[in-house]
Amino acid sequence: MTNNPNISIIVPLFNEAESLPKLTEWIERVMKENGFSYEIIFVNDGSTDNSREVIEQLRVESLKSEETGADKAESSPVHAISFRRNYGKSAALYCGFKAAKGDVVITMDADLQDSPDEIPELYRMITEEGYDLVSGWKQKRYDNALTKNLPSKLFNATARRVTGIQLHDMNCGLKAYRQEVVKNIEVFSEMHRYIPYLAKNAGFTKIGEKVVQHRKREFGTSKFGINRFVNGYLDLMTLWFLNKFGKQPMHFFGLVGSLMFFIGFIAVLVVGGMKWYALAHGIRAMLVGTNPYFHIAILMMILGCMLFLAGFLAELVIRNSPSRNDYLIKEEF
């Protein structure tokens, strides 16, 4: 295997020991049939079963299959990264991206629901059609329609609206990337759901989609609960805010704070003017201090000042951030 393989395949996993041998055999068959040089990077996300031992055995078997006289530790296409505890899929992808050496990087789940037979076409779309990123679309799914399919459709519809990226399945685990993409985006928290949006924000705008086969899970159970959809919406709002105001937080906090203060100030003047008018014309009116509109107006002024101050402090933080002038340069002449 060369130091720079054609394809790096990153497989995050958590307690998927039963499916790993079949998945590895399937990937190796597809790679050899198409003449690709490749590496498989298993990212063991703190599994509590014997996934680590299975990966080690797969690595030993791959070494035995090599017929080169070179250093066999370097000739094996099977590699592993193991976490001490479960950190989540975003952390697994981040470390996998960091370790990947292939010209094209493929991510896929370890549960055999993603088909390695899709890899050659994904590779072709990146290398020949010039896509930066190609996301799979599981058009026909075998998940539960009520607990997964319907929430997924609603989630993806919202994501398309907010991000402007017209993907039917943004969270599909089967994706292909140019190496430059994965080296210039940072996947954090639970943002693996929005990698296409992260790529777009980094300037990689040629994002495509391919209909892929969705297979029924053969072993184990799903690791995702219904709470992922709630967290997904919150993460989407976070990314939208960071993309729009991450470099200029004062543009948000300062604007909203100024508007609230101005509205509150006008309301105070109105309440005071009404009291003055009543006194001038001998009309009985409640005390300003007992008028609920007065307290609402004062509260708006206070909140407006606090939001403005929050924006000012955020600007000070960004001014001292070491990444304040990090820009992705496409080319230089």
- End-to-end, the C-alpha distance of the chain in Å comes to 34
For the chain, percent of residues with pLDDT exceeding 70: 86
In Å, the largest CA–CA distance within the chain is: 106
Domain boundaries, the chain: 7-245, 250-319
- Give me the pLDDT at residue 157, please: 87
Name the pTM for this structure: 0.76
- The CATH superfamily assigned to 7-245 is Spore Coat Polysaccharide Biosynthesis Protein SpsA; Chain A (3.90.550.10)
List, for residues 183-222, the tens digit of each pLDDT value. 999 898 888 989 999 999 889 999 999 999 887 766 766 6
Residue 229 has pLDDT above 90, yes or no: no
Q: How confident is the model at residue 70 (pLDDT cuts 50, 70, 90)?
A: very low
Residue 173 CB contacts under 8 Å (≥ 6 apart), including other chains = 107, 108, 109, 113, 114, 136
Q: What is the mean pLDDT of residues 53-59?
A: 93
Q: How far apart, in whole angstroms, are the C-alpha atoms of residue 285 and residue 271?
A: 11
For the chain, percent of residues with pLDDT exceeding 90: 51
Q: How far apart, in whole angstroms, are the C-alpha atoms of residue 208 and residue 125?
A: 9
Residue 39 has pLDDT above 90, yes or no: yes
Residue among 319, 330, 323, 266 at smallest CA distance from 294: 266
Look at 113 and 74; give whichever has higher pLDDT: 113
Q: What is the mean pLDDT of residues 38-46?
A: 95
Q: What is the mean pLDDT of residues 31-36?
A: 95
Stretch among 140-154, 164-178, 258-272 having the lowest mean pLDDT? 140-154
Residue 240 CB contacts under 8 Å (≥ 6 apart), including other chains = 162, 163
Output DSSP code: residue 146. I
Q: What is the mean pLDDT of residues 1-23?
A: 88
